[in-house]
Amino acid sequence: MQFFFRPRGIALIGATANPRKGGHSILTNLRRGFDGPVYPVNPRYENILDVPCFPSVAAVPDPVDLAIVFVPGPKVPDIIRQCAARGIRGVMIESSGFAEAGPEGQVLQQELVAIARETGIRLWGPNCMGLVDARRRYVFSFVTPTIWDEGLTPGKVSLIVQSGLLSGGFLIDLMTHGTTGISKVCSVGNKVDVNECDLLQYLTEDPDTEAIGLYLEAIPEGRRFLELCRRCPKPIVVLKGGKSPAGAEAARSHTASLAGDGAVVSGAMAQAGVVEAAGFKQMVDICRTLAEYPEIRPEARGRVAILTYSGGSGIISADGLHALGLPLARLSEQTLAEIKKIFPDWMPVSNPVDLWPAVEQSGAQMVYTAAARAALADPEVDVLFIHAFSGGFDLGLDLKEVADEARRRGKPMVCWLLGGREAARHFQLEVQALGVPVFREIPRAVECIKAVFTPRNRSVAPAGAPLVPDNAREMVQRAAGVLDEHRAKQILDACGIATVAEAIAADSAQALAAAEKFGFPVVAKGLLPEAVHKTEQGLVRLGIASPEALATAWGELHAGMDGKGEILIQPMLRGQPELIVGALHDPQFGPCVMCGLGGVMAEILEDVAFAVAPLSRADALALIDRLKTQPLLNGFRGSTPVDREALAEILVRLGDLMTACPQIREIDINPLICVEGKPVAVDASIFVAQ
Amino acid sequence: MQFFFRPRGIALIGATANPRKGGHSILTNLRRGFDGPVYPVNPRYENILDVPCFPSVAAVPDPVDLAIVFVPGPKVPDIIRQCAARGIRGVMIESSGFAEAGPEGQVLQQELVAIARETGIRLWGPNCMGLVDARRRYVFSFVTPTIWDEGLTPGKVSLIVQSGLLSGGFLIDLMTHGTTGISKVCSVGNKVDVNECDLLQYLTEDPDTEAIGLYLEAIPEGRRFLELCRRCPKPIVVLKGGKSPAGAEAARSHTASLAGDGAVVSGAMAQAGVVEAAGFKQMVDICRTLAEYPEIRPEARGRVAILTYSGGSGIISADGLHALGLPLARLSEQTLAEIKKIFPDWMPVSNPVDLWPAVEQSGAQMVYTAAARAALADPEVDVLFIHAFSGGFDLGLDLKEVADEARRRGKPMVCWLLGGREAARHFQLEVQALGVPVFREIPRAVECIKAVFTPRNRSVAPAGAPLVPDNAREMVQRAAGVLDEHRAKQILDACGIATVAEAIAADSAQALAAAEKFGFPVVAKGLLPEAVHKTEQGLVRLGIASPEALATAWGELHAGMDGKGEILIQPMLRGQPELIVGALHDPQFGPCVMCGLGGVMAEILEDVAFAVAPLSRADALALIDRLKTQPLLNGFRGSTPVDREALAEILVRLGDLMTACPQIREIDINPLICVEGKPVAVDASIFVAQ
């Protein structure tokens, strides 16, 4: 991919002297920053902007690795063939008019796919804004050259974005404010060939990139993407567009690609140690924070010391931290005593540390520095949250010494800043140059502290073949369609998943024999082919307490099915909690496993979590931990705690089954009842593709 | 209060020629903006800044209504006495060194309280930053005069803030950015006399104020505050500091005032139609939005039409709306057809409406205007969310026609804006002058749309005396301490709250008689004085199914209590859901009623809601609606829905009981089991002050 990022020479096809056109902007941008030769290609000009122009790609001299194409869509396929013939290795297609532009464009895009396959040339785009590299000052994009006016602020964060806006308008916004630096922005467009995976792989190795943010509307190579995230040692933040039903609808019409279900995406991201964002600026803010603090000390638990010049800001910060589950540090006696030295006599020291009275007495610089040193030295403090002000009643703070001390101690430090428009901007630049992220709103600072202390557990996918016994595989091979609960549980049982005892009763005598074996009370269910909603269809009789009641129930079920189905007898299991577990094939991530609270609460709380199969045991335990209601599993008021290892084992086996038998489309175990802490599958269905 | 806001003349006590002192800043600010006479008072000067200076308050000529005091704390009491003697009606004490500054300051503050009571003079502060009125250009504050450099942007929003920061540094930040206008900012400080209630009352009538934001750490006159909010026709937004346990700790040490529990405050605010904020800028952003859209059409349901120039932004907006429960508008056929006219042929129309291809074809102005007119005319659309860009590839939009049309149709319109630093600021000012709030981040715009469409149901407190039967009052009068569940339920029963049938069994024969009357299975409980945790103490026997089991249970309980307590027999009620309801005295809001999901889920989900008693029936129903888990009450899978009217009636009666009998400190009904939809109190305790 190096020819895209560091080409020795660039051919610009579609260069033009018309300053209102993108082909002119690209040339301007290349001339202002690119340090290699640029070859405009356009048969209508001899020169553009004093650069000699070539009539065709074939005529372009060496060295040339990369072509940037900005000509109308229908002309693109032929241009790419010419590029391939000329030995150009990569083409960045910035033209639009492809899959995003209706059926004709889709045909055109298919042609690009074919050419790439045929010639081996790598294609970036189409319908994209190319690449901006603020460190090298490479702007391979038609983004307006006004972007140069405020300078391209270099930074440690690289972005991969499936939206022209984020590499265009948003970038202009970021760059002109000047307070957020960027390393590379890669606009992937329609991703006909080069996609987020290729770019993530490149940026993982890129020495100029210390954190990676991605805005994605679809992740077609979901599993490859996850593997790359798992292996990337740099922090990764993803903003996934189209996670809501409404958003997904917009995604389809925008990129003609299928957006994944929100819960599956979130599960997959958590599994791969990726932080999720909810907005553009928030994504970049989290990225720039994690770029400064990619790793935390193993013993750090996110305990925050707040140094403020305003009691109110301290309180709002403490409230915000509490809402996100971050603890305020309990300052040690020594720290309190140290800070007391700089405080007025009457003032007690607590956290948040309100420095204002001390500042009035002794000046901000001394007071802030002393308090910060004391807090940083405190083993109870994991992170320092400093409130600053610049302009107006300038605190006159120089945070260099404090920032150095924080870094020495391996403790993150973030700063919230108010101030006059210009003064605050300058202070922000100054402090950020010290490696301290500065924010203009307390809640954003708190969100970013949260991201630093969110464990980025990059579990490794289990090695080796999925563990599925041969008899289970054989049962699946013989099956088709929606399996009734008895057949489904036979497969689960073969996989080593505990299921309720049960027997088919061909007549009421067999029913009685089964019931006597299990012990009353029992349950009788009518199994009809393809009848998924047994309860609603009147095919379930719970709590049958006597032989007489059983005979009646058997008779009613038998009559109700017109003699078509079978009747199943089970003991009536009772236990808490009732869970639901399942599995499905996600179009982006493939086989996935789900776990959640069952019954009525499942529908109200929507508290389910997903992970991509196959799962390691650690994956499965982490999946369970992601449930909001997971404290319920610990046992309440004397009830037996759920055996998490046993539950995790069920999730692992479900994942293995899905992986080994791709013809299984969906599995539902609902309910999975925890009897004395042990989860048992009481009802289940499996859908096997025909 | 008019003498604080529009004084005819001002005496400034503590004026000084030293430009580094607050007394100099106040004078500078007064001279730059105040249109009446200013009389500096300081015996050390003849003139300050060319203004004649007076040796004492007594020497100040007429007219003078207001004194602003900025002298060291210990001198303040005497100054106030002089002001009272001079006939000055109000004093704004901006000095610090009072209750916030240790025990000596607390004594000093008590002296101020005494003087105010004695003389009738009104005191604002101390430890405050006074008043800024950006419309009149009155700055009665020592906030740095640099605030004038960028002008004081006038706006429709007034703030009442219990934090110097918000009337100082934060104001400088807002003002120098210039994009957020303010009407008045009132810094209340230690609230020795004038408090948020007095100011809210004033601003309710103030013609220059169209929305009111409050930052409060304590609401000591909680009930008066609620009544004022309920009666105020203007939108009110509250940021309550100290809602977390950690935040509350900070609040105590900061303002020496008790901060209320978060859930109680939230309940009270919801009851009074107040919107809650979570951050300073967010509070102001919600305020300025609600100032533009204080009322919505009764039929509006928050259905949003998004007009964007970027597919990605449309998707992120749709995701954000979905996350806050706001629906995307389903555009009508007519609207789709109208917009289709301006779209390229291949492009389908959906919401979010991605206008970019049309903009490329026909220019932004025509396309945006046509699409906006079509969307505004659509009865399915309640609010227009416009994405704009300015600077760089300027869209060149003029939104005046669209804004006028939106206002004509009574449909709110908000704008999200990206752009170059200066260009975006100018566009923002331009568009906001049209009455359209502009935001720089999508999530903030979405939060503000949400606030517009959050019903601000300002229920009226019930008139008339609380309805509590005489026998209930008598039982309470005879009680003291923690009442056991039998005594507690007798009081509840007397109030008309359904309780489980039960009987005290002095021996096992009585127990059997009761059980036979109720029918097996029954419950036996040992009642010991002050034993609140019966289950943990082994004093509860559930599901007793036979006379033999009952005899055993009675014997065990009897033995377990050493013959001290009593034994209670109840039928074993079963039903779903189990609720918890209760009541308490909040230090700020007085008697409050609570309702929530009971049992294990209560502890995990913390899903409870409060309201201030007495409750109207509407209050009680709204309280139930605020529970996240309230859909559970609708009945699931064929179970009987909970009788919400009956549940509301219980909450009303609990509130009446708390109001009528202030000696009751706490009531717990746990569980309140819904049997066939009817809530029945199964266990209860009441704590009566001794």
What confidence tier does A82 reach under pLDDT thresholds 50, 70, 90?
A: very high
Put simply, the answer to whether A318 touches B250 (Cβ < 8 Å) is yes
Please compute the mean of the pLDDT values over residues A266-286 and round it to a whole number. Answer: 95
Please compute the mean of the pLDDT values over residues B328-337 and round it to a whole number. Answer: 97
To test the contact with chain A by mutation, choose from B315, B328, B449, B632 the residue with the greatest count of A C-beta atoms within 10 A, namely: B315
State the DSSP H helix or E strand holding residue A477, giving kind and residue range, or none if neither: helix A470-478
What confidence tier does B110 reach under pLDDT thresholds 50, 70, 90?
A: very high
pLDDT digit string, tens, across residues B543-568: 999 999 999 999 999 988 887 889 99
What confidence tier does B461 reach under pLDDT thresholds 50, 70, 90?
A: confident
What mean pLDDT is reported for chain B?
A: 91
Put simply, the answer to whether A420 touches B146 (Cβ < 8 Å) is yes
What confidence tier does B637 reach under pLDDT thresholds 50, 70, 90?
A: low
The beta-carbon neighbor of B418 closest among A170, A254, A279 is A170
Put simply, the answer to whether B165 touches A310 (Cβ < 8 Å) is yes
- Asked if the domains at B299-452 and B501-572 fall in one CATH topology, the answer is no
The beta-carbon neighbor of B215 closest among A312, A605, A629 is A312
Question: Which chain A residue is nearest to residue B418, measuring alpha carbons?
Answer: A173
Q: Which residues of A touch B603 (CB under 8 A)?
A: 631, 636
The beta-carbon neighbor of B319 closest among A143, A166, A241 is A241
pLDDT digit string, tens, across residues A479-528: 988 899 999 999 999 999 999 999 999 999 999 999 999 999 999 999 98
d(CA A541, CA A515): 13
The beta-carbon neighbor of A165 closest among B162, B310, B628 is B310
Please compute the mean of the pLDDT values over residues A251-275 and round it to a whole number. Answer: 67
**Cα dihedral A569, A575, A578, A579 sign:** negative
What class is the A578-688 domain?
A: alpha beta
pLDDT at residue B254 tops 50: no
Question: Which chain B residue is nearest to residue A343, measuring alpha carbons?
Answer: B101
Put simply, the answer to whether A319 touches B242 (Cβ < 8 Å) is yes
pTM of the predicted structure, to 2 decimals: 0.93
Angle of CA points B238, B243, B249, to nearest 5°: 130
**Cα dihedral A616, A617, A620, A621 sign:** negative
Q: What is the dotted CATH code of the domain comprising A296-452? A: 3.40.50.261
The predicted structure's pLDDT at residue B416: 97
Q: Is A241 helix (H, G, I), strand (E, B) or coil?
A: coil
Q: What is the dotted CATH code of the domain comprising B459-500+574-690? A: 3.30.470.20
pLDDT digit string, tens, across residues B117-153: 999 999 999 999 999 999 999 999 999 888 888 778 9
Q: Would you say how long chain A is, in residues?
A: 690
Phi, psi of B497 (to 5 degrees): -95, 130
The predicted structure's pLDDT at residue B531: 65
Q: Which residues of B touch A280 (CB under 8 A)?
A: 313, 316, 441-442
pLDDT digit string, tens, across residues B646-671: 999 999 999 999 999 999 988 989 89
Looking at the domain A501-572, which fold is it?
A: Dna Ligase; domain 1 (3.30.1490)
Question: Which chain A residue is nearest to residue B357, measuring alpha carbons?
Answer: A101
pLDDT digit string, tens, across residues B83-105: 999 999 999 999 988 998 888 89
Percent of chain A with pLDDT over 70: 96
**What architecture is the B299-452 domain classified under in CATH?**
3-Layer(aba) Sandwich (3.40)
Q: Which residues of B touch A543 (CB under 8 A)?
A: none
The predicted structure's pLDDT at residue A103: 87
Distance of CA A567 to the CA centre of its chain: 46
Phi, psi of B594 (to 5 degrees): -130, 150
Q: What is the dihedral of CA B150, B155, B160, B164, to 10 degrees?
A: -10
What residue has token string 């589950």? A325
The beta-carbon neighbor of A603 closest among B347, B348, B636 is B636
List the structure tokens of B417.
């804006």
Residue B360's contacts (CB-CB under 8 Å, 6 or more residues apart) are: none
Q: Which residues of B touch A281 (CB under 8 A)?
A: 440-441
Please spell the DSSP secondary structure of B648-685, one letter per residue: HHHHHHHHHHHHH-TTEEEEEEEEEEEETTEEEE-SEE
d(CA A525, CA A514): 13
What confidence tier does A246 reach under pLDDT thresholds 50, 70, 90?
A: low
What confidence tier does A531 reach under pLDDT thresholds 50, 70, 90?
A: low
> Can you give the residue ranges of every domain in chain B?
2-291, 299-452, 459-500+574-690, 501-572
- Chains A, B: CB pairs < 8 Å: 291
| Burial letters B211-244, b for 16+ CB under 10 A, else e | bbbbbbbbbbbbbbbbbbbbebebbbbbbbbbbb
Put simply, the answer to whether B350 touches A165 (Cβ < 8 Å) is no
The predicted structure's pLDDT at residue B532: 65
Radius of gyration of chain B measured on its C-alpha atoms = 31
Question: Which chain A residue is nearest to residue B142, measuring alpha carbons?
Answer: A393
pLDDT at residue B470 tops 80: yes
Put simply, the answer to whether A312 touches B161 (Cβ < 8 Å) is yes
The beta-carbon neighbor of B241 closest among A166, A309, A316 is A316
pLDDT digit string, tens, across residues A18-64: 998 999 999 999 999 999 999 999 999 999 999 999 999 999 999 99
What residue has token string 């990605």? B312
Please spell the DSSP secondary structure of B468-483, one letter per residue: --HHHHHHHHH--EEE
Task: Write the ipTM.
Answer: 0.93
The predicted structure's pLDDT at residue B246: 52
Q: Which residues of B touch A102 (CB under 8 A)?
A: 344-347
d(CA B520, CA A401): 76
What confidence tier does A258 reach under pLDDT thresholds 50, 70, 90?
A: very low
Angle of CA points B631, B634, B637, to nearest 5°: 100
What class is the A2-291 domain?
A: alpha beta
What confidence tier does A261 reach under pLDDT thresholds 50, 70, 90?
A: low
The predicted structure's pLDDT at residue A639: 78
d(CA B351, CA B365): 19
**Cα dihedral A228, A230, A235, A240 sign:** positive
| Burial letters A364-400, b for 16+ CB under 10 A, else e | beebbbbbbbbbbebebbbbbbbbbbbbbbbbebebe
